[in-house]
Amino acid sequence: MSQIKIIEKKDFNTNFQKIEQLEEKQNLIRLERAEKKEELKLKLKEEIKEAKEQNDQNKIFLLKEDHKKVLATLNEQTKETLLQLKEEIKEIKAQPKPEKKLETLEEINTRVKTINNIKTLAEEEIAKQKALLKVNRSDDELVKQIKQNIKNIRYNKRREIRALEENVLFPPIYAFFRAIKSGFFRVLNWFKKIWIMFKSNYPNIAQFFVFFMLSNGVTVLQLLLMPIIKSLLNNTDLVNVSFQFGQVGKNFDGSKYYMFDYAAGVIVDGKGGGLAYFLSVQITLAIAQVINFFSQRNITFKSNSNPWIAAMWYLIAYVAITLIAAAAQGLYKAPIYNLLMNTWNMGATGELFADFITMIINSAISFWVFFPIFKVIFKQVPETEVV
């Protein structure tokens, strides 16, 4: 790491920065508590597993009691530290604010020029760091440090500009728009603070919520892609090519039941569409799942395990779920298309809505099956164990 210069956060000693640093400490303490709780929970599971193998019920009871005491101590210590930091923030806020004054035209020009120089230098430094990032992409530690450098450069830029403007009395209209901007970021910071508190107290629920939101985003992407890809493929001869695969029994009328049943020709009563329809669905799903893989791995589960092994298990799970979802389509696909296209006489519009509904049902099946699978394949392992 010697080839990368470490850029630290600067200290401008303003009240705003002091409060921000103390609030950041609070958030870090909450996250550390959440991580410690998770670590203790995993340790307890391992110890209980060993005790069960020895059939020692008394040891299991004592382990659980000790775990409760350790958690109580951890919560009490964290609470005391957070209260101390809260008091420090309160004291800083209670300090008299420095008197602000209107600037002369010369002072305004000097300040604006200084701010522009700060921005220019920051942009140049960020460009250098991004160039280093491209060169060192194979080294995870260097990448991590470079990304932190970029964050610190942006932090220093914002704080340096704020320090220059702290004692300036701005004209009413300009001050009004600054107040709106400041209020917006305060609301964002408030939500961030609430989220970190929630995440520290309920890490599993928070993780599921992030998974839920990303999954819904991927579903929306599928809904947007499906009609586009379908309209492109429907203009080809693929619509007249039948695709039937995976016979798993027979229909009530005695005809063969296929997991993938796309007869040649346009869709009628939920049947048809040919190879064009099949490819439309599968291409849409494939694009969505590639995006889902990286977003869930990096954002929801923050996994640092071997990506290739995770991708292999993800592919196996995706194929299995696709087959299950395809087999289940026989229960709902035809009735949905028939209802919207014929019973309600919606024609092409009904077909579009039916496409959306079947895609949502497919996504819902994937959603509930994938979460426990992700918990297994997207693990966080100690740095020494990362492959």
Domain extent for 18: 10-99
- If asked whether residues 237 and 95 sit together in one domain, one would say no
Tokens of 152: 């610190």
Rounding to the nearest 10 degrees, give the CA dihedral for residues 121, 122, 123, 128: 90
Residue at a domain's end among 51, 82, 99: 99
In one letter, which amino acid is 187? V
Q: What is the mean pLDDT of residues 380-385?
A: 52
Number of domains in the chain: 2
Candidate from 27-36, 51-60, 350-359 with smallest mean pLDDT: 350-359
Look up the pTM and report it: 0.60
Q: Is residue 111, in this structure, part of any structural domain at all?
A: no
pLDDT of 99: 85
Residue 278: inside a domain: yes
Q: What is the mean pLDDT of residues 98-121?
A: 92
| Within-domain flag for 276 | yes
User: How far is the C-alpha of 262 from the C-alpha of 240, rounded, in Å?
Assistant: 10
Domain boundary among 99, 125, 157: 99
Decide if 199 is inside a domain.
no
Q: Which residues neighbour 48 within 8 Å (Cβ) at sequence distance 6 or greater?
A: 60, 63, 64
Q: What is the pLDDT of residues 193-232, one digit of tens each?
A: 788 778 777 888 888 888 888 888 888 888 889 889 988 9
For 38-77, what is each residue's pLDDT tens digit? 888 888 988 898 888 888 888 889 999 999 999 999 999 9
Q: How confident is the model at residue 1 (pLDDT cuts 50, 70, 90)?
A: very low
Is 333 contained in some domain? Answer: yes
Whether residue 223 sits in one domain with residue 95: no
Q: pLDDT tens digits for 262-315?
A: 888 876 555 678 888 889 888 998 898 899 889 988 888 888 778 888 889 888
- pLDDT range class, residue 250, cuts 50, 70, 90: low
Region 171-200: mean pLDDT is 83
Q: 163 in a domain, yes or no? A: no
User: 260 has which bridge partners?
Assistant: 245
What average pLDDT does the chain have? 84
The token pair that represents 202 in the structure block? 């309920």
Whether 89 and 214 share a structural domain:
no
Categorize the per-residue pLDDT at 109 as very low, low, confident or very high, splitting at 50, 70 and 90: very high
367 and 218 fall within a common domain: yes
User: Is residue 342 situated within a structural domain?
Assistant: yes
- The tokens of 68 are what? 């409760």
Closest CA to 361 of 293, 270, 248, 251: 270
Task: List, for residues 315-333, the tens digit of each pLDDT value.
Answer: 888 888 877 777 776 667 6
Q: Worst-scoring range by mean pLDDT, 11-20, 92-101, 263-272, 372-381?
A: 263-272
Task: Using the 3D structure, point to which of 99, 116, 136 is the last residue of a domain.
Answer: 99
Same domain flag for 378 and 261: yes
Residue 240 lies in a domain: yes
